[in-house]
Structure 1
């Protein structure tokens, strides 16, 4: 259980990093990680998941981290991106994927891993865990198809990138509800998670100047903050009381009653109350992450620059790490590395040349 929760925390930071790619100072990031985990993540995680947390006492439903992980990372990443500033103009204007085949492989691993992400949350093999796995795949597949259909309708072509974006928003949306909603609700959530984040990313983002100003490299705000909030709201609508009681191990209680079930059981007041708690949770997570992330970034800026210099941005990875992720060198070019070469930077690398003699001897220069 401890390891499981530590991995959740690590995933949240990886998602935040996706919003800051291409310009944040590595030393600033190393300071940011422990500070944000301590003063932001733990606050929301305790408030929502710990039985003594104030939102947990109110009955908030977050099955596997729609609030704690995805909404937090989306808001914190967007806020940090505001403070760090944008990438170089050339990187913002053209940022194609390096390898779509590897991207597909990674997406497949992500989808497969989410089976354990949601299915493992009850910490036991149970009907609840099985339902969480099934709903995860149903919602994700639906979301992927809806995103593709929208791409075809408005852009004329389906794309691998669009399919993966739809996959991610489906995974995120079902996360707070995975084991507490019925299969038909997972389908509806997939339809909405494939369309609403698509609209915010493809339409609203281009119309709202503030969204365009903040350089969220991997669109974490749309795929995680928007999709996570959507999942939390829909959980408040579709949550099944019996399934909630199985997961939360509580007897008959006034909490954990989705709005639709509230209408069905003539307990509309309880349903509206649950929806209100879900909305309150969204406001709380947004508030904590905006405030704490801003404070942390401002404090770090007093010690080290948040952003790389323009010279370092133009050079890339080699300026920061002494190596490049994609070292493209070929005929007539000599690859040099400050760290990984046996030879010094100012020492010429030996090369072989064939002599013109009949013996075909090889001389070493």
Structure 2
């Protein structure tokens, strides 16, 4: 019989050292960096391509550039102060206390509390979340917002709106121990949808010709951008456990199940009602599925994820394709890409569904109440099914639904108020909307560049304005 000696020691290459301390799990660390990169790819190039393709040709450069600028600006703001406002150690009301510790090696290389990764992973992961939130918001403002106003709006909204939602629900805020929001259904999607709709109200509508006729300039590229979003959502939801564990695997599978279901339902409704399955509609259905599953990805069974996909493909379809055309207020607010429906409605739907379908054992695995003092769950469905079993009572489910509703009301109200204040204050010194003559021309007037070389092998047509507007022309007031 072949005898083998037990392994009593590790290879020197696997032993802890200064660069790999005992608390660091290489697998978790590698996955977290990968997940963060996938979320970053959703914005750059994902939304850059999607926005640049989904708008009219004359707005392709401006729309893509709004996304690219926001990604860079949010990173600087996030590391400088916004991360500490969202996840700071010291409380300061409804946000953390800002400081410069995010620039220090001591802070970035220490262990993230309760996890086997360094804080630097978390700082970067939460940055890409914050960046995509602002970029999603911008989808409501494409085709008319003054670019210089956008440059000011991004850091202001990040500082005074996003950080409050993140702190309140994800860190140490008054809802953080009670509300279920696995990966940002409220913090990211409900807030971006409501804030985008609010900002669109204050900025005003597009040029009449654009509002009435706004075809995508490149359907194939639009689908490519959508593909980056769909596949990138693997990191979006899969990174939230901050470890490569069982909940991570379930979250990834549920994400794609819900998304595929939602897209097929949206396509089917388009086919039944309009006799054609729109590619743009399919992308919208894909988006609502991704958004809806986000707050529940790792804490519901897969059958529930598919049921949420049916809801995500039908209810936002109804609000966008039917209610939007019937309600006068919706028609008055020019939400360019329908972000209110695809993100606010779908995010709210996902948050409420989380309160219904959250499975007790999965909730415990994710929130770990024994060590974190969290009190989430169970979902309403399981509180009814498992009443008086293992200490579960029916009122526990209704209580969880109450917190889900309260969280939605808080996020929506805060974003309406703060976004309105930001827009009103900005309008005192910078015009929120481009001038009418610039709106007629588009990219060439705003940036002096066009998306496609259709004349003179890339040279600019002298019949169009040949001078990019000066800084002062965007800041003058009428």
Tell me the TM-score normalised to structure 1 length.
0.90
Answering whether residue 262 of structure 2 is matched by residue 136 of structure 1, we say: no
**Residue 325 of structure 1: how far off its partner (Å):** 2.1
Match of 1:359 in 2: none
What is the deviation of 1:255?
A: 3.1
CA shift digits 1:28-54 (9 cap, x unpaired) = 11111111001000001100000x210
Aligned to 1:53: 173
Residue pair 1:262, 1:269 contacting (<8 A) in 2 also = yes
Structure 2 residue 332 is matched with structure 1 residue 206: no
Give yes or no for contact 2:193–2:340 (8 Å, CA) kept in 1.
yes
CA distance in 1, matches of 2:132, 2:374: 33
Q: Contact 2:358–2:382 (CA<8 Å) still a contact in 1?
A: yes
Using the alignment, how far apart are the partners of 2:174 and 2:182 within structure 1? 16
The Cα shift of 1:303 comes to: 0.9
Residue-pair matches, total? 338
Q: How does 1:98-113 map to 2 (within 5 A)?
A: 98-113=217-232
CA deviation string 1:151-209 (max 9, x = no partner): 01000011211111110000000000000000010011000000000000000000000
1:222-274 CA-to-partner distances (Å, cap 9, x unmatched) read 00000000000000000011111111121397532100110012111000000
Where does residue 152 of structure 1 map in the other structure? 271
Aligned residue in 2 for 1:43: 164
Pick one of 436, 447, 450 that aligns with 1:310: 436
Mark the structure with the bigger radius of gyration. 1
| Alignment partners' CA distance in 2, 1:169 and 1:254 | 28
- Given that residues 144 and 433 in structure 2 are in contact (C-alpha distance below 8 angstroms), is that contact kept between their aligned partners in structure 1? yes
12-21 vs 253-262, which deviates more? 253-262
Q: Cα gap change, 1:339/1:56 in structure 2, threshold over 3 Å: closer, same or farther?
A: same
2:139 alignment partner in structure 1: 18
- The alpha-carbon deviation at position 327 of structure 1 amounts to 3.9
Q: Which moved more, 1:82-91 or 1:158-167?
A: 158-167
Between the aligned partners of 2:376 and 2:155, the Cα distance in structure 1 is 35
Q: Structure 1: which 5+ runs fail to align?
A: 341-365
Q: Give the one of 244, 260, 265 matched to 1:125.
A: 244
Kept in 2, the 8 Å contact 1:254–1:270? The answer is: no
Looking at structure 1, the residues matched to 460 and 426 of structure 2 have their Cα atoms a distance apart, in angstroms, of: 39
User: Does structure 2 retain, via aligned residues, the 8 Å contact 1:255–1:270?
Assistant: no
Are 1:86 and 2:205 matched, yes or no?
yes
Contact 1:75 1:290 in 2 (8 A): yes
1:258 maps onto 2:379 in alignment? yes
Answering whether residue 156 of structure 2 is matched by residue 30 of structure 1, we say: no
Q: For residues 253 and 14 of structure 1, do their structure 2 counterparts lie closer, same or farther at Cα, with a shift above 3 Å needed? A: closer
**Distance in 2 between residues matched to 1:10 and 1:212, nearest whole Å:** 28
Counterpart of 1:71 in structure 2 is 190
2:216 is paired with a residue of what secondary structure?
coil
Q: Name whichever of 258-267 and 223-232 sits farther off.
A: 258-267
Q: Superposition RMSD on alpha carbons, in Å?
A: 1.8
SS at match of 1:107: helix
SS of the residue 1:262 aligns to:
helix
Alpha-carbon distance between aligned partners in 2 of 1:183 and 1:160, rounded to the nearest angstrom = 26
- Alignment partner for residue 226 of structure 1, among 345, 349, 361? 345
| Distance (Å, rounded) in 2 between the aligned partners of 1:245 and 1:195 | 31
Supply the distance in 1 between the matched residues of 2:175 and 2:452 (Cα, whole angstroms).
46
Q: Distance in 2 between matches of 1:70 and 1:326?
A: 32
Give the aligned partner of residue 292 of structure 2: 173
Whole-angstrom distance in 2 between the partners of 1:160 and 1:273: 41
Identify which of 281, 289, 297 aligns with 2:407: 281
- 1:330 deviates by 5.0
Measure, in 2, the Cα distance between the counterparts of 1:307 and 1:273.
44
Task: Report SS of the residue matched to 1:148.
Answer: helix
